[in-house]
Amino acid sequence: MSSDAALARAVAEEAGRLLIAIRDGAEEAGKSLGDRGDREANALILQRLATARPNDCILSEESFDDRTRCAAQRVWVVDPLDGTREYASGRDDWAVHIALAIDGRPSQGAVALPAMGRTFSTDRACPARPPIAPRPKLVVSRSRCPDLALRVAETLDAETLTMGSAGAKAMAVVDGRADIYLHEGGQYEWDNCAPAAVALASGLHASRIDGSPLVYNRENPLLPDLLICRKGLADAALAAIRAVRG
């Protein structure tokens, strides 16, 4: 591949095709189907990245983490199937995340939304977004909506939209269907590294909910909160978060 971003995009799309084929031909359902999708997509991604970038380290949700990556400059951060429940239930709002963190920063990456036929990547970023509507749209988790997000939406007089995976929600901001994605609690580096990389490459704001930078490849991969939004809304969103949190 000519670039890390092109590699991320190609592998995410290949994994997405595999996941679609598994779901279309599966006899199992529910958790069993989700587990199979996670396992087989992970194996494909690890093989492709190891072949193309043999000297890089990989942190994947579905693989044992021996922490040797912590000393590496370049680390691929992978979620083979973000939104396993949505995938297993036949929904479209699930994703494949492949990102490259360089010196802890979300440098390159891709988020594939296979059931929607779309892939977003850092080398094909900066889409034209429509103007902000009179009420901004804040996208939240379909199944685990944090109270903070609802209170911030009320403070900003924002309309709320619900979706499944973190990748689907973040890409809704990238392509202009939403203006803000706010999450608190329960995420790990693989949940948001690729979405953050694509969002930043697209000219959006991406940070922790206290405004601090997103840092990856830490010994503990827990990275529980995230704010992705239009830059023009960042100050207002961060002020609303501070006000709600007291």
Domains and CATH numbers, the chain: 4-122 (3.30.540.10), 137-245 (3.40.190.80)
The rounded distance, in Å, linking the Cα atoms of 209 and 13 is: 30
Q: Which residue matches tokens 């297993």?
A: 88
Interval 130-162: pLDDT, tens: 778 889 999 988 777 678 999 999 999 999 999
Interval 40-98: pLDDT, tens: 999 999 999 999 999 999 999 999 999 999 999 999 999 999 999 999 999 999 999 99
Please state, in angstroms and as integers, the Cα–Cα distance from residue 72 to each residue in 50, 75, 132, following that order.
15, 7, 41
Here the tokens at position 123 are 């080398």
Which amino acids are annotated as binding site, given as ranges?
A: 61, 79, 81-82, 191
Which amino acids are annotated as binding site for Mg(2+), given as ranges?
A: 61, 79, 81-82, 191
Say yes or no to pLDDT of 36 above 60.
yes
Strand, coil or helix: 120: strand
- Across the chain, what does the average pLDDT equal? 94
Here the tokens at position 24 are 């279309």
CB 119 within 8 A of CB 140: no
**Three-point CA angle 43, 175, 98, nearest 5°:** 15
pTM score: 0.95
The rounded distance, in Å, linking the Cα atoms of 121 and 140 is: 22
Interval 197-233: pLDDT, tens: 999 999 999 999 999 999 999 999 999 999 999 999 9
